C-alpha cells in the first residue's frame, strides 16, 4: 500500500478545527496517511486556514464558517466551537459531494476522520454514507478527566471551594480537583456540555489518539472501557510525519542563530502556546523572574498574548537593558527545532498536549505552568507521574520563578529530572519505530481504513 500509484489511492477526508494545537497533528496525520498510500482531502475553516503550498500532497477543502456574523470574545473557545458546528456542516457536505462526484472509482472517499471539536462531521458522514472516525488531539488521561465532570457534578463534588482544591478526585487518584478542567473555559455547565459532544462517539467506528501507549497505559485501558469502539494510539505524530511546516504564524528563525551561540543545555525556552491569554502583570512577573535567574532564555511573547495591548508595551521598561544578550524574545518560534537544539536545557511551558509531546520526545525537562483545560492534567502527569517537570504555582511570583529555574537548570533535582527525560525520549523513539506500540497501532489503523 505504501507505494500506491497516485491514480489508485483510496481517499480519506480529514476535518480539522482552526486551532494551531489541532491543525498541526491533523496535518501530520494527513501526511502520514498520504505516505501510507491514501489520497487525503484536508477540510479546514477559512479562518486560520493552513498554507496549502506547505503541504503539497494534500487536497485542501475550505469550509466557509461565517464567523463575521458572530461576536466571539478572545479566548472563548466553547462559543467558537459551537458556531463552527452549526455553520460548517453545509459547506463540508456540499464541497465534499462535489469532489466525490469528480473522483474516479478507485480514488473514492472511504471515510471521514474528524477533529473531536468538529463533531458535526458525523452527520455529513452519515448523509454521504461514509464511515466516520474521531481524532483526539489530547491525552487519554485528560479525556478521562473531562468524562468525569458530569459525574462529579451529579455527586456534588464540583463546583468546589478553593480551600478543597488539593483533595484527590474520587475515581481519578492521580489528579487533584485543581487539575481537572472545570470552569476555566466558560461556566462549568459550558464545559460539561462541550464534553457531552466531544466525548460522544455517536456512530463513529473508531477513535484515533495522538498519544503513546507507554505514557498512559492504564488510562488508555480505562478509556477503551468507556468508549467501546476501535482505538488507535498512534502518537506522537510529529515524530512520524514527513517534516512540513504547519505553523499559522511565521516563526522567527533568528532565534536559532542566537541559540547557536549559547552553551549546551544552558537555555530555558519559554512559551505558553497558541491560545493562552495573559495579564500584563503576569508578563511583567515572568520577565523579572527570567531576569533574576542567571540563565539565558528564549521567550515567546505572542502579539496577541495580552488582548488590546501593543506588543511593544508588553515587555517591561528597562528589561532588555537588564538582560542584554542573555535574553532573546520572539513573537513565534520554530518550536520543534528549538526543542531539538542542544543549547536548550529546559522548557517553561503551558503544557498544551503538543508541547508536552514535543518536549518529551526531545528529552527536554519542563517547568509546568498550565493555563486552562487539559493543560492542567498534562502538567500533573509531567510533574507527578512521569516526573520530568516541576510544577510552578499558578500565581506567578518572580522569586518563585527564579527558584524553579535554579532547581531545574542546576542542582541534583534537575539532574535527576534530566535522566528521566532522556529515558522517556528513548521510549518515545522506540514506540514509533518498527516493533513499537504506536508503529503497530498505525499499521492497524491503515488496515482498518482499507477494510471499509
For the CB of residue 415, give the shortest distance to ligand UDX in the complex, in Å. Answer: 26
Report, in Å, the least distance between residue 365 CB and ligand UDX: 16
Give the residue with the Cβ less far from ligand UDX, 131 or 356.
Answer: 356
Which residues pair with residue 389 across a beta bridge? 366
Candidate list 131, 195, 211, 375; residue touching ligand UDX; CB under 6 A: 375
- Residue 373 binds ligand UDX, judged by CB under 6 A: yes
Kindly state the smallest distance separating residue 280's Cβ from ligand UDX, in Å.
Answer: 19
> Which range of residues in 13-21, 105-113, 178-186, 396-404 is near ligand UDX by CB under 6 A?
13-21
**Touching ligand UDX, residues 103-162 (CB under 6 A):** 137-138
Residue from the set 147, 336, 376, 380 that interacts with ligand UDX by CB under 6 A: 336
Query: 395 to 434, contacts with ligand UDX by CB under 6 A?
Result: none
Q: Which phi and psi (to 5°) does residue 389 adopt?
A: -150, 165
Location of C-alpha cell 472501557: 225
How does strand 168-169 pair with strand 172-176?
antiparallel
Question: Which residue stretch of 18-26, 152-160, 180-188, 277-285 sits at the interface with ligand UDX (rule: CB under 6 A)?
Answer: 18-26
Beta bridge partners, 367, equal 348, 390
User: What residues between 303 and 332 interact with ligand UDX by CB under 6 A?
Assistant: 332
Residue 281: Cβ within 10 Å count: 10
State the nearest-atom distance from the C-beta of 372 to ligand UDX, in Å.
7
Residue 325 Cα to chain centre, angstroms: 31
Nearer to ligand UDX, 283 or 333 (CB): 333
405 sits in which H/E element: helix 398-409
Site string for ligand UDX, 343-372 (x = CB under 6 A): ---------xxxx--x--------------
| Cell numbers that stand for 447 in this block | 488496515
Cα separation, 395 vs 31, whole angstroms: 40
Q: Is 376 in the site for ligand UDX (CB under 6 A)?
A: no
Distance CA 204, CA 138 (A): 18
CB of 333 to ligand UDX, least distance (A): 4
Closer Cβ to ligand UDX, 329 or 437, answer by number: 329
Residue 383, helix vs strand vs coil: helix
Least distance from C-beta 138 to ligand UDX, angstroms?
4
Find the binding residues for ligand UDX in span 19-48 (CB under 6 A).
19-21, 24
- Neighbouring CB atoms inside 10 A of 264's CB total 10
Q: Cell triple for residue 136?
A: 483526539
Q: Which residues pair with 208 in a beta bridge?
A: 135, 232
Site string for ligand UDX, 258-277 (x = CB under 6 A): -------------x-xxxx-
Cα–Cα distance for residue pair 448/432, rounded to 1 Å? 19
Instruction: Find the shortest distance in angstroms from Cβ 284 to ligand UDX.
Output: 20
Helix axes 353-362, 20-35, angle to 10 degrees: 60
Q: Enter the C-alpha cell of residue 129.
A: 454514507
Residues 225-264 interacting with ligand UDX (rule: CB under 6 A): 247, 251
Site for ligand UDX in 69-108 (CB under 6 A): none
Q: How many CA atoms lie within 13 A of 287 on its CB side?
A: 21
Q: Which residue carries 466571539 as its cell?
A: 72
Instruction: Name the DSSP letter for residue 187.
Output: -
- 181 touches ligand UDX (CB under 6 A): no
Determine the straight-line distance between the first and last CA of the chain, rounded to whole angstroms.
15
- Alpha helices by DSSP H, 274-372: 280-292, 311-314, 319-323, 335-340, 353-362
Distance in Å, CB of 8 to ligand UDX, minimum: 33
**What residues line the site for ligand UDX (CB under 6 A)?**
19-21, 24, 137-138, 247, 251, 271, 273-276, 300, 332-333, 335-336, 352-355, 358, 373-375
Amino acid at each position: 500500500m505504501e507505494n500506491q500509484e497516485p491514480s489508485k489511492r483510496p481517499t480519506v477526508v480529514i476535518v480539522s478545527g482552526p486551532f494551531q494545537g489541532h491543525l498541526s497533528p491533523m496535518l501530520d496525520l494527513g501526511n502520514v496517511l498520504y505516505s501510507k498510500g491514501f489520497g487525503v482531502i484536508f477540510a479546514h475553516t477559512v479562518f486560520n486556514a493552513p498554507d496549502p503550498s506547505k503541504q503539497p500532497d494534500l487536497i485542501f477543502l475550505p469550509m466557509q464558517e461565517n464567523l463575521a456574523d458572530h461576536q466571539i470574545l478572545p479566548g472563548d473557545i466553547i462559543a467558537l466551537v459551537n458556531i463552527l458546528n452549526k455553520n460548517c456542516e453545509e459547506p463540508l457536505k456540499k464541497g465534499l459531494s462535489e469532489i466525490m462526484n469528480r473522483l474516479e472509482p478507485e480514488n473514492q472517499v472511504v471515510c471521514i476522520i474528524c477533529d473531536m471539536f468538529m463533531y458535526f462531521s458525523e452527520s455529513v458522514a452519515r448523509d454521504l454514507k461514509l464511515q466516520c472516525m474521531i481524532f483526539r488531539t489530547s491525552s487519554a488521561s485528560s479525556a478521562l478527566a473531562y468524562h468525569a465532570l458530569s459525574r462529579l457534578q451529579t455527586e456534588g463534588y464540583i463546583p468546589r471551594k478553593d480551600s478543597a482544591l488539593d483533595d484527590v478526585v474520587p475515581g481519578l487518584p492521580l489528579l487533584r480537583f485543581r487539575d481537572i478542567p472545570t470552569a476555566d473555559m466558560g461556566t462549568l455547565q459550558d464545559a460539561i456540555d462541550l464534553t457531552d459532544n466531544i466525548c460522544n462517539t455517536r456512530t463513529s467506528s473508531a477513535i484515533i489518539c495522538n498519544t503513546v501507549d507507554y505514557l498512559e497505559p492504564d488510562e488508555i485501558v480505562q478509556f477503551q472501557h468507556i468508549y467501546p469502539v476501535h482505538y488507535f494510539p498512534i502518537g506522537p505524530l510529529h515524530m512520524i510525519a514527513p517534516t512540513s511546516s504547519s505553523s499559522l504564524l511565521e516563526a522567527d528563525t533568528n532565534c536559532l542563530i542566537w541559540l547557536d551561540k549559547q552553551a549546551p543545555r544552558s537555555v530555558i525556552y519559554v512559551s505558553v502556546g497558541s491560545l493562552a491569554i495573559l495579564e500584563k502583570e503576569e508578563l511583567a512577573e515572568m520577565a523579572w523572574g527570567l531576569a533574576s535567574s542567571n540563565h539565558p532564555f528564549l521567550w515567546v511573547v505572542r502579539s496577541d498574548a495580552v488582548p488590546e495591548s501593543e506588543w511593544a508595551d508588553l515587555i517591561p521598561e528597562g528589561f532588555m537593558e537588564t538582560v542584554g544578550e542573555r535574553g532573546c524574545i520572539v513573537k513565534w518560534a520554530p518550536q520543534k527545532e528549538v526543542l531539538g537544539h542542544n543549547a536548550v536545557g529546559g522548557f517553561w511551558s503551558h503544557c498544551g498536549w503538543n508541547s508536552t509531546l514535543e518536549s518529551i520526545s526531545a528529552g527536554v525537562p519542563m517547568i509546568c505552568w498550565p493555563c486552562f483545560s487539559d493543560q492542567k492534567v498534562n502538567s500533573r502527569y509531567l510533574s507527578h507521574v512521569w516526573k520530568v517537570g516541576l510544577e510552578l504555582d499558578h500565581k506567578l511570583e518572580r522569586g518563585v520563578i527564579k527558584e524553579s529555574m535554579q532547581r531545574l537548570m542546576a542542582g541534583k533535582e534537575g539532574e535527576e529530572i534530566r535522566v528521566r527525560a532522556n529515558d522517556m525520549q528513548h521510549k518515545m523513539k522506540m514506540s514509533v519505530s518498527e516493533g513499537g506500540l504506536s508503529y503497530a497501532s498505525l499499521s492497524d489503523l491503515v488496515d482498518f481504513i482499507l477494510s471499509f
